[in-house]
A and B are shown apart, each in its own frame.
Chain A
Amino acid sequence: MRGKPFHNLMARDVQEIARRFFDFTRREYRFSKNRAVTYLDVFAQRGPIALAFEIETTSRHAVGNARKAALVGVPIWIIVPLRRLKLDITRKLAPLGLRPGGEPIKILLLGQMEQELTNYLSLNIAANTQNGKE
């Protein structure tokens, strides 16, 4: 992988967690849509539900990665190692109002990811949606 060891370690952990919820998970995934191409740290898919995970160990590339995800129209979750960094990135992204794939960008610590995925998927799977009940 291209990142530093800490980044790669986090990417591996994120993929491990994502694997429990999604049928398809890949690291350093090349994703192209809307004539734009981007590389996602971790990409996960389960049926029609697709999620991109970007690991940020600094706030430097957060805005760029969020813009790229918006360009290709895939919902993005940013996974960070520190609460302080989470706050920094939240502040940087808030004024942009980006909604990649029509969803708000989530910024999470690694330990929060599993719970958030449980909530997210329970709201999105067909059985729990209005269409699924019909």
Chain B
Amino acid sequence: MKNQDGAVTDREADVSIKSLKAGNVVPAREFFDSYDIGKAGIAPTGGGSNPSQVIPIELKLLRAVVDHPMRRSSEYSKLAGISPNTLLKIRPGLVERGFIHENKQEAHNRGRAAILLEPLESAKQLVENLEE
């Protein structure tokens, strides 16, 4: 039913929202390239270990993990040249997409566990392919 101003009806609005909800949102690569992830507080969505889905900042971290495996996660911010906050934000995405594996190690009876990052085969291949 149209309203008095001839604007969009409730039904039309509902239909338009449906298509938005059902649609698969694909993050544009250019968007990630032009924003600092740490400041914007965003993370790319998952979906396979496709090189095109790895943004430059993630690649920096992957390269550091492949070159220096099994170090404490805190060490990688220096090795990769990224801020600790950025590292904290992009790490779960790389774990989820099967690039790296987190190994937790508690040295003593108290305190937080250290997280040691292990590069998986997909990360090694990706870094190798990009270097060729």
Q: B-contacting residues of A (Cβ < 8 Å)?
A: 5-6, 9-10, 57, 81-83, 109-112
Contacts and interface: CB of A to CB of B under 8 A. Distances in A.
Contacts of B103: 6, 57, 81
16 contacts: A6-B70, A6-B103, A6-B116, A10-B105, A81-B103, A81-B104, A81-B106, A82-B105, A82-B113, A83-B109, A109-B108, A110-B105, A110-B107, A111-B106, A111-B108, A112-B108
A10 B113 CA distance: 15
Contacts of B98: none
B106 A83 contact: yes
Contacts of A9: 70, 116
Interface string B63-104: 000000110000000000000000000000000000000011
A109 B108 CA distance: 6
Contacts of B106: 81-83, 109, 111
A78 B105 CA distance: 15
A52 B107 CA distance: 20
A5 B107 contact: no
Contacts of A82: 104-106, 113
A103 to B, nearest CB: 22
Nearest to B102: A6
Closest 3 CB pairs of A and B: A111-B107, A111-B108, A6-B103
B82 to A, nearest CB: 23
Contacts of B109: 83, 109, 112
B7 to A, nearest CB: 59
Nearest to A113: B107
A110 B108 CA distance: 7
A112 B111 CA distance: 13
A12 to B, nearest CB: 10
Contacts of B70: 5-6, 9
A5 B120 CA distance: 10
A6 B118 contact: yes
Contacts of B69: 5
Nearest to A10: B105
Contacts of A110: 105, 107
